[in-house]
Each structure stands twice: as C-alpha cells, then as structure tokens.
Amino acid sequence: MSRIYFDNAATTSLDPEVLTVMMPFLTEKFGNPSSVYSYGRETKLAIENARKSVAKILNANPGEIFFTSGGTESTNTAVNAAIRDLGCKHIITSSIEHHATLHTVEYLAHSGQAKLSYVNLTPNGHVDMNNLEELLAGSPDRTVVTLMHANNEIGNLLDIKAVGELCRKYDAIFHSDTVQTVGHYPFDLKNTYIHFLNGAGHKFHGPKGVGILYVNENIQIKPYINGGSQERNMRAGTENLYGIVGFAKALEMATATYEKDSAHINGLKTYMGTRLQELFPGVLFNGDTNGRSLYTVLNVSFPRTEKSDLLLFSLDMAGICVSGGSACTSGASSVSHVIKALHNGKSDSLVPIRFSFCKHNTKEEVDAVIEKLKELI
C-alpha cells in the first residue's frame, strides 16, 4: 500500500543530498573532533564549517551557535540558564507552548526557583501583546519570556520582533522556540532582540538527533551538560559529527529553495482548507489559519460523531499519516493541551486533525485524502 505522509510538523524525510554529505563522516572520516591528529582535525574543521554556514544563514556570529541534540535540549539549556545564570526570578510563557518548554517552566516554578505567569491568548490563539506588556511592567523581578515562534499544532506565528522590543523595553531575557521556523523562514538575528533561539534538523529534511542553540554574544551562561570541553566548553560530549554536517547542509538547501518551496506548500494548505470547507459542514480551523500562520500546518476540527471518533485510526489504515497534535504526545488519548486552551475546555465535541505539508507533497495527494475523508465521514 502506498502511503501519503501529511505529518511533516512531526518530522520530515531525510533529503538524499543531505545523506550524501553525511556519508563520508559515517565511514572513512570517523575521527574524534577532539583528537589532534589528521583524522580529528578534518572532522573538527567540518564542524566549524557547518557552524559558519548556519551562522551566516541566520545572520549571527559563529560563536553564538552551539550544536545540541535537538530542540528539547536547547530549550532546557536556555530556560534554565536564564534562571540560574542571568538573574531571572520570573518566567512568562503561554499555555500552548511545546511540552519541552511547559514541563521545564513548571519544574522551575514548583521547585521554588521562579514565579510563573501565563500570558493571555486571543480567541484565535495568538499571544495578547497588551497582556504581555502588563505582565512585564508589573514584574518586580527580572523576567525571562519564553514564547514559541510558530505553534507546532495550530501553526500560529508570533511577532518575534515585537516581543523582542517589549523585552528590550523591560530588560527581560527572551527565548523563542523556533523549531518549526528555522529552515522554513529567513532570520536576521543581528537585528532581532533575542537571547536564545533553537532549531532541529529533522524539521527541514535534515537528520534527527541534532539541533542548535543560539546564545546571544552579549550574555554569559554556564554549561547545562558538564564533562568535556566540546562546543567551546558549553556542551560536553563527543559531537554528533555527521548530524552536524547534515544539519548545515539541510539548512543551506532549505534556504536556497525557500521562495519556491514555501509558495508550493502554502498552495497545498490553502487548497486543502478550501476543499474541506466546501465538503464538510461544521468543520472548524484551529488557530489563525488564513492570517499569521505557518504555511506548513493546517489544523482542522471535525464534529465528533461515531465515525469521526475513529478518524485517525481509519486514515492510518488507509495509508494516510496525519496526527491529532504534537508527535511528542501522540500516545495521549485526550485532546491536546493546545486545542483545549483554544476552545476553553469545550473541545470534547471536536476531533482535531493536523495536516502538515512539505515540498514533496502534491495536489493529487490532497485530493486522495479528501476522497478518503468523504468516504470515512
């Protein structure tokens, strides 16, 4: 059975060109980058070239880029450093962040290390900027604001520059989970007020298990993982050499084809949204679908019925890969925390499905999924 893969917000396929550049470092170029002989020097050079490439694309300095195991480690490092090293006693976040953020800030609050505030959301799931300023202005302590650039479930985009300027005004530390946007949008970090930012290679056709943490050069933090002197004494452990090389190559490729790919993917999202509205009465779109929204994500709620209750299972049986929310919580039986927050606890009557697209998807695949939905509902 041929499969249709519409869950690219969870992970993307590894691009063959990325695998090609990784292969030498999986075979003959296997040296430990910390070694001083030729095998080590050539792999160390590959890592530093990858760092320079990533920094250039994000308009950052190479010294501000640290390679990690992915978005979760990067978020944990950033938020913990803000409390431990940068004097923050207050955290502002939202109720619809990724669990990498929510579970971290909840732990810090429950252990008495920081006060925790949740910014209000607008009815369509955006951060209420007026309330964010009220929280910042009313805080007697230095604050860290941690808000994701694009929500991984509903796709809403944060105005990252506007939040940065509010943080500048109130001398707050700003971290943004940009896992869904690095590799999908251009960044200009030298002209953005932000202290921490993270990315993950597998969200834009790179390898899994590798990510980045951007740390603004104007702040000083301590390591989150202690041990060796790798990553300029900031992240101990032998480097994921082939992952780092693959990350940089995937980011280079995504940047080179951004205009074409984003237009194609957005076209698929718009087309599918239009067809769903035409064919399925009562369908709802979660988030700001036609406004400030990630072009890769379309989150749809179908009215809950006996048939739609089994929709995810039925689509899977038909070879169609979609999700009900974040892949990190896909084992949960209830509606995700994001959808619950969006519908103020009235989500039990809905069956949310996240369709997320990539450059390899086609209009024909959308048509095939629509036909299957017509059959199932």
* Residues acting as catalytic residues: 328
Alpha helices in the chain (DSSP H): 16-26, 38-58, 71-84, 99-110, 129-137, 160-169, 230-233, 241-256, 258-279, 311-317, 337-342, 363-376
Looking at residue 266, its amino acid is N
User: Torsion-angle region of residue 66: left (phi > 0), alpha (psi -120 to 50) or beta?
Assistant: beta
Using alpha carbons only, what angle is made at residue 330 by residues 326 and 334, rounded to the nearest 5 degrees?
100
CA–CA dist 61, 56 (Å, integer) = 7
CA–CA dist 234, 328 (Å, integer) = 27
Q: What does each C-alpha distance from 233 to 36, 49, 140, 210 come to in angstroms?
A: 17, 18, 33, 18
CA–CA dist 331, 374 (Å, integer) = 26
Query: Which of 154, 182, 161 has the alpha carbon at shortest distance from 75?
Result: 182
Q: Which two tokens stand for residue 158?
A: 């944060």
SS3 294: coil
Q: What does each C-alpha distance from 136 to 122, 139, 256 come to in angstroms?
A: 18, 5, 38
Query: Which of 104, 182, 178, 184 has the alpha carbon at shortest distance from 144?
Result: 104
Beta bridge partners, 182, equal 185
Q: What does each C-alpha distance from 244 to 56, 207, 312, 320 come to in angstroms?
A: 15, 9, 34, 31
Query: Which of 333, 329, 320 has the alpha carbon at shortest distance from 2?
Result: 320
